[in-house]
Amino acid sequence: MLDFNCFMDLHNHTKWSDGADKAEDIIVNAINHQVEAVGITDHFCNDYKYSIGINMLETYFSEIDKLKQKYKNSIKVFIGVEISYISLLRNYSILPYDLINQLDFILIEDLDYIPATINLEVIAALLNSIKCGKGLAHTDLAKLADKYEDKGGLDYVLDFIKQSNLFWEINTDSAHDIFLNILDPIKIEQKTIAVLKGIIKRKIPVSVGSDTHSLIQYNYERLKTANEVAEKLNKTGDGSKPLKK
């Protein structure tokens, strides 16, 4: 089971997809930085990025599981994949749910680019077949909410997340305004504050992911800051507290 009450980095890519490093290198680097939980989340069934194909998922799972057992006394290793909402829509009928549900979790990406003509209830229905942990990768919830103003905006989006048993990721590599606000909240926007208050109100779990594609670009300080915010979001009842230094 995923653990959101620790120093975490639950979003990393390896040579299995578009990453530059081996999965073991990612895990060892996390151990060296005293990260308590690391997730390997290579792209899966993606039509526009190099990714794990359906026929390779079992081999991928087996390899990462061996590393999970090898380092179990040093760090919690979680096995995941990242899939776009587009791939879910296109491939939902052929996805290997028996294998997917053996993963620790799955990250859904690109949801903030979804056309407003597609109701989130459609995505929720597709997610019903996925029984492992589920989260939204690098999703700007304020941007997504703007698309659905006629349906309730932010309340509509956050209710979808809560009802679908999703967690939300603070991504330390994203250039979305919401993450720049969170990681450097000197000029925090009201939209970001509203999102954080809504997350706390609904008790939506918050994860942290570095979205590492190369350890050369690994930024521990941003990861540390994001974990400090996530800890407060997961524990506090005051939506403004996570933004105070």
Arithmetic mean of pLDDT, 140-165? 97
pLDDT band at 242 (very low <50, low <70, confident <90, very high): very low
* pLDDT per position as a tens digit, 98-123: 999 999 999 999 999 999 999 999 99
The pLDDT score that the predictor gives to residue 239 is 39
The pLDDT score that the predictor gives to residue 48 is 66
pLDDT band at 225 (very low <50, low <70, confident <90, very high): very high
**Contact 199/126 with Cβ under 8 angstroms?**
no
Residue 141 has pLDDT above 90, yes or no: yes
The pLDDT score that the predictor gives to residue 245 is 33
Other beta carbons within 10 angstroms of residue 27's beta carbon come to 24
**Contact 174/138 with Cβ under 8 angstroms?**
yes
The pLDDT score that the predictor gives to residue 46 is 85
Burial-class residue 245 by CB neighbours within 10 Å (0-12, 13-18, 19+).
exposed
- Domains of the chain are 8-243 (3.20.20.140)
Arithmetic mean of pLDDT, 132-152? 97
